[in-house]
Chains A and B, each alone.
Chain A
Amino acid sequence: MARVLLLEPDFQLGSMYQQALKTGGHEVLWQRTAQDALHDVDKSGIDIVITELQLALHNGIEFLYEFRSYHEWKHIPILVLSHVSPEQTAIGRSLWEHIKITAYHYKPRTKLADLIESVDKVLALNPA
């Protein structure tokens, strides 16, 4: 069982992703803003971060940069689950590698089962 930080602004989607991941056997901390997410990571040990890029108040990319600026969190895998398709972001592969995004999922094409499978794969490759 892993502790997952889910950064998802939408109330309905966040609830569904949280429930699905719990069914997959994980503990899920769900936050809707970048500030609250960073607070959670600081307070609790997190094994993996799942984040939307389209956030209210903050840019999801800014959150990722800030997250990766903390040395003690550099090893935590990040999985992007976003309304924005990877082709539509202005970020090149080198920058993705710099931020160390482990996986990128486009929400319309990612079922709940796909998300659970991806989380399990990422955690298996990045044991805590």
Chain B
Amino acid sequence: MAHLQNEQKSDAITPENRLLLALAENLKLPLLQIARRAELGQIKPRQAGQAIKDIELTADAALQLLDSYLLSLNLANEIPAALEPVSVPAVLAETAQKLEGLAKRYNCSLELQVKGRYEPVIAHAGGLKSALTSLGMVFIEAQSVLPHKKPATIQLAAHHSRGRIVAGLFADVEGLSADMYRRARTLYGKSRQPLTQMSAGAGAGVFIADSLLSKMATNLRVAHHHKLSGLAATFAPTSQLELI
């Protein structure tokens, strides 16, 4: 059966450049969106104002993804990483705010689901926010593609589990399983679509998020929040500093 030639020669791909390859593949989309939006703005001059807003939004999202990737490289060189007590609910709230414009553009809604008290966790504050934002971008793009009976909702949520704090993004994603995600982690940078069940694209935001979180001694894994599946990281709460 004919298939897309979606694998690079394995000896040309090192672990270091896999993430870069995924990022490069991913960045084609926002640049393409910007180019075509600009062209459409010229074909339909009445839409020029909206075109400019769309271009700004898309460019900001692409820059955020680039910044997240660069931060993951910088954190790798920072030994020890500048970790500090961080409030997970606060980071989730900031992430929701940052993603709001993009979600609206893609016809998705975001819900913040953080009930109860959460002790601070030791993390890199900027890295955690970048990770969740990059992850959010993939979820937003994915939700807009997948068939839904009602408008897509993405939850930025946290909950306690076995004395630890689980924080991540959750949505109505069929087929998102531990096996699927494990396979995707071996395929990114080599395959154009490592997350086929979720996304038509490279999904670089997921793997950049994973790279950032690995610098905080955690990783993304498939998790569930109420009836929704998603990708989340687990943190041990710290009593180092109680935030009121």
Residues of A within 8 A of B (CB): 9-13, 16-17, 19-20, 23, 32-33, 35-36, 52-57, 59-61, 83-84, 88-91, 95, 107-108, 111-113
Contact = CB atoms under 8 A, between A and B. Distances in A.
B33 A12 contact: yes
5 contacts: A11-B141, A23-B43, A55-B200, A83-B201, A88-B4
A88 B146 CA distance: 26
A12 B37 contact: yes
A59 B145 CA distance: 14
Contact of A90 (B2, B43, B175): B2
A53 B4 contact: yes
B44 A59 contact: no
Nearest to B140: A11
A108 B192 CA distance: 16
B58 A113 contact: no
A16 B2 contact: no
B39 A112 contact: yes
Nearest to B197: A57
Nearest to A32: B145
Q: How large is the interface on B (under 10, 10 to 19, 20 to 34, 35 or more residues)?
A: 35 or more
Contacts of B39: 111-113
Nearest to A90: B5
Q: Which 4 A-B pairs have the closest CB atoms?
A: A90-B5, A9-B200, A11-B144, A56-B200
B35 to A, nearest CB: 8
Given A84-B4, A88-B5, A35 B147 contact: yes
Contacts of B58: 12
Contact of B192 (A19, A33, A54): A54
A29 to B, nearest CB: 15
Interface in B20-40: 28-29, 31-33, 35-37, 39-40
A83 B202 CA distance: 11
Given A54-B192, A54-B193, A91-B2, A20 B145 contact: no
Nearest to A114: B39
A20 B146 contact: no
Nearest to A82: B4
B109 interface: no
Given A10-B145, A52-B200, A20 B33 contact: no
A44 B2 CA distance: 29
Given A56-B200, A89-B4, A108-B28, A13 B146 contact: no
Contacts of A17: 36
Contacts of B5: 88-90
B144 to A, nearest CB: 4
A61 B44 contact: no
A52 to B, nearest CB: 7
